[in-house]
Chains A and B, each alone.
Chain A
């Protein structure tokens, strides 16, 4: 479908943002464009931003939903800062996003939506398409609604349904502009609307009409080409953080040879973990939608007592409710995986917006001395590795493990080279089946190396025992209020968790010339922005090192050595300085924070500027 009158321009990377009402199908449009782009072979990263309301008032700034995709012919780390292209389905979408664009950016708008009333609703006194305010951009005002309705004339659907297909028209147009393959979207639409063939036909027709519109009209003088990125050989799929987290739990429990049990209560942005795992009954997964957050973790503890891997998933407010039960799991010393997909707090906060502000809660948010290992994935696909690692640590050390993901990772996606499950390390659960102390069974007699207690499940003859939240007598496991015993138990629980460090990969440092004075130390979802910022600084001649913590408690054993090599440690976080507190408490280093709490990821540009200020 090449058109000779149109020039093709080669680009190394492009950032596109789709924006519209939360009912406009923006996320779907973004997903499909991402799917085509992944299939084409570009590296990519995505960022979703949407309101907490399911159908926020239409045409308002508060109701704008957006999806940003960054794709490139080389490896990239973030969804990008300033969009090269903004697709705005209404005036609200234009107004909410225009501030992020740089001069020269391309804007595609649905001009049908730029009416007096809709303009007024978002405070436009004059029509920005006509008043010259968009002069520094390349604006394509296209009557997307009416063209789509026209294109679908003759289909047995209502005008309203026809207009709703305008997102597919826009998608088709973008696919033409960026020379994306189209087959998988056509297949997808047929699958999605399988039972309503007329809707499927109409959406496919709108999609193809959008593509043809680019091809046949002279609205666009240029098509763009972004060649496939060079990526390591292998089979790939696109994956979001929540999905990868589920797959990691599935792979981990399969390697451990025990079934997975999820106890959960729906909460944004963690509900997709429940939805996904509920689909895997064939893998023996039991999911329990509990009456509340507490019952979710409590049931998971019950399942772990029975020899399954208990998992509970939640976000910040739910984490607060689970605190007491998490303390019980620490006292019981049973395996448990707690997935906290962090969102902006405090309280209900901003449920769909990202933040990293639950780190200290995970560390300290329980009564008594109650340490738990804490892991944090750094990218959507890393959620797989981290979940697998959580299963390994939980089962090996008989301890709850907290995973701190966040809304950005959960909903963001990237290409993922599929792991060969056969090559993942085995996880040995080693249920106790025999008495361990002169014919008796002592449930708190520890493995001298890991300090883990035996995991014995009901149904094992002769090892009947009682556990609980009351302090246990070291070894024998009966209840005890002896002062010395309590102190010994507090210390041994701490030593057990601290001992996980011996079993944790060393903290790696990216310091190519080994001569930087500044180390950027990050954790979690800031990885992408930090990598991009560090790369930009280096391209401009700056020297900076980067290390990213995936194990937050305990820190990798070499963390102090690594930090000690740098004059300054910059800790960027989407909170007010929580890792910074832990670093300063643990190591004698000159550490400073860079902290934003806007509910959005860092831009790499702001991080780069901060780094350059310090070097």
Chain B
């Protein structure tokens, strides 16, 4: 009776960690970014950072070699959430904050799909904060792209949960007294297995981080610092400007010591008092610098790194903070389903419904 039986197959899960795309069918044809464009005209403001992210995603998807029909993008509400309309995959533009929950249901029921969530700082961290936390802790096989522009764009310029304290907006004319949330810290606190930060203006870095996220099995949270040129223009200029970015950002590279700085070379190390400190390379032995390890199970160092940009004189790390293997929730669910019905053990539904205590009225039939 199954009209499309293939898609309901429950593949037996491999016990070893597999790629986030391991169960997604490959494409049989060569694709380009053109294959991922729709006939819908993008309706973001001219100059919006979203365009760059869209171009990077449209550039990356063909490279993944997946059947296009097995990719799904699900978004919530906000500027970023228009994203699925512009990608020629399956997509759903849902309701505010709920995309991770919708995507969880889809990922659980369809292990053959590559499921992506597109969200923003308001959508993911304010109205949808609860879903984000629980998706991360469950480790559902989803890729979450969190466009962080530190402002509410679609509702025209109120402060967001990531806006800096003191932010003057329409809803905070005297300055915001809210404390901003750090998405990376939050994700690490929720025990996310893949956590990264990148920036809309650096196509190469953005693509590299997205590629790594796609390969991760479980939830990958990618914070993308994104410029809203209308309501919060230049929020990340210090991190982007060629003159300053060498001093304000540090690139996280697995297996490499954490180094940055243009005029003076600086590094990050664990201070003798605990915590991290930024030191001038001239003053210290370079062997004492922290060597980045994305696979470290203990997330304490990653958490400390996530705080590094928030302190005075700090530096904002860009790259993958954490990438560890842990069974994905949806894989575990599907293993149980396979196990329950394996070896012809699934009882006939009539038998299930009859239960253990039946009685017969009338003549006995065979």
Contacts and interface: CB of A to CB of B under 8 A. Distances in A.
Interface stretch (B102-110, B149-157, B169-177): B102-110
Contacts of A282: 340-341, 345-347
Interface stretch (A51-59, A128-136, A226-234, A593-601): A226-234
Interface in A217-265: 231-238, 247, 250-251, 254-259, 261, 263
B92 A298 contact: no
Contact of B94 (A255, A421, A431, A468): A468
A295 B329 CA distance: 15
**A-side binding surface: helix, strand, loop or mixed?**
mixed
Interface string B209-228: 00000000000000000000
B298 interface: no
Nearest to A236: B359
B104 A295 contact: yes
Contacts of B336: 281
Interface in A182-237: 184, 231-237
Nearest to B96: A324
Give the residue among A301, A433, A466 with the most B Cβ atoms within 10 A: A466
A19 interface: no
Contact of B102 (A184, A258, A291, A302): A302
A464 B134 contact: no
Contacts of A572: none
Given A324-B95, A459-B113, A429 B105 contact: no
A250 B354 CA distance: 13
A466 B42 CA distance: 14
Contacts of A292: 130
A463 interface: yes
A434 B185 CA distance: 46
Nearest to A460: B69
Contact of B113 (A234, A458, A462): A458
A324 B92 CA distance: 16
B92 A238 contact: no
Contacts of B10: 284
Contact of B352 (A261, A280, A467, A478): A280
B92 A295 contact: no
A237 B77 CA distance: 49
A328 B104 contact: no
Given A236-B361, A468-B93, A302 B340 contact: no
A288 interface: yes
Contacts of B345: 282
A495 interface: no
A280 B112 CA distance: 22
A236 B358 contact: yes
Nearest to B71: A458
Nearest to A422: B350
Given A299-B104, A433-B4, A466-B85, A459 B70 contact: yes
A298 B70 contact: no
B345 to A, nearest CB: 6
B88 interface: yes
Contact of A41 (B333, B361, B363): B361
B68 interface: yes
A236 B101 CA distance: 40
Give the residue among A257, A284, A302 with the most B Cβ atoms within 10 A: A302
B353 A288 contact: no
Given A299-B104, A328-B95, A466-B85, A306 B113 contact: yes
Contact of B349 (A251, A286, A304): A251
Interface in B331-352: 333, 336-337, 339-341, 345-347, 349-350, 352
A61 interface: no
Contact of B134 (A232, A236, A291, A431): A291
Contact of A303 (B6, B85, B108, B340): B108
A463 to B, nearest CB: 7
Contacts of B38: 466
A458 B85 contact: no
Contacts of A257: 1-3
Nearest to B70: A459
Contact-residue size bin, chain A (C-beta under 8 Å from the other chain): 35 or more
B349 A302 contact: no
B92 A467 contact: yes
Interface in B107-135: 107-110, 112-113, 130-131, 133-134
Give the residue among B105, B107, B340 with the most A Cβ atoms within 10 A: B105
Contacts of B93: 466-470
A326 to B, nearest CB: 10
Contacts of B2: 257-258
Contacts of A120: none
A294 interface: yes
Contacts of B67: 459, 461
Contacts of A41: 359, 361
A418 B363 contact: no
A515 interface: no
A299 to B, nearest CB: 3
A303 B106 contact: yes
B4 A460 contact: yes
Contacts of B337: 281, 284, 286
Given A232-B361, A233-B363, A286 B109 contact: yes
Contact of B98 (A235, A298, A303, A478): A298
A299 B101 contact: yes
A350 interface: no
B110 A307 contact: yes
Contacts of A429: 3
Contacts of A324: 95
Nearest to B98: A298
B90 A465 contact: yes
Contacts of A291: 101, 130-131, 133-134
B192 interface: no
Give the residue among B67, B131, B347, B361 with the most A Cβ atoms within 10 A: B361
Given A250-B349, A251-B349, A291-B130, A302 B105 contact: yes
A457 to B, nearest CB: 7
Nearest to B35: A464
B109 A261 contact: yes
B79 interface: no
A431 B3 contact: yes
Nearest to A478: B40
Contacts of A184: 357
A290 B105 CA distance: 10
Contacts of B339: 281
A231 B361 contact: yes
A39 interface: yes
B7 A457 contact: yes
A309 to B, nearest CB: 10
A256 B8 CA distance: 13
Contacts of A475: none
A422 B269 CA distance: 70
B120 to A, nearest CB: 16
Interface in B1-34: 1-4, 6-8, 10, 25
A430 interface: yes
A300 interface: yes
Interface string A283-325: 1101010111011001111111111101000000000000011
Contact of B105 (A35, A310, A469): A310
Given A235-B358, A288-B105, A290-B101, 10 more contacts: A237-B355, A237-B357, A258-B2, A261-B109, A263-B105, A286-B333, A300-B105, A307-B110, A430-B3, A465-B91
8 contacts: A38-B359, A250-B349, A284-B346, A302-B74, A306-B106, A417-B361, A459-B4, A467-B91
Question: Which 7 residue pairs of A and B lie closest in terms of their CB atoms, listed nearest first?
Answer: A233-B362, A468-B93, A302-B105, A299-B105, A257-B1, A298-B101, A281-B340
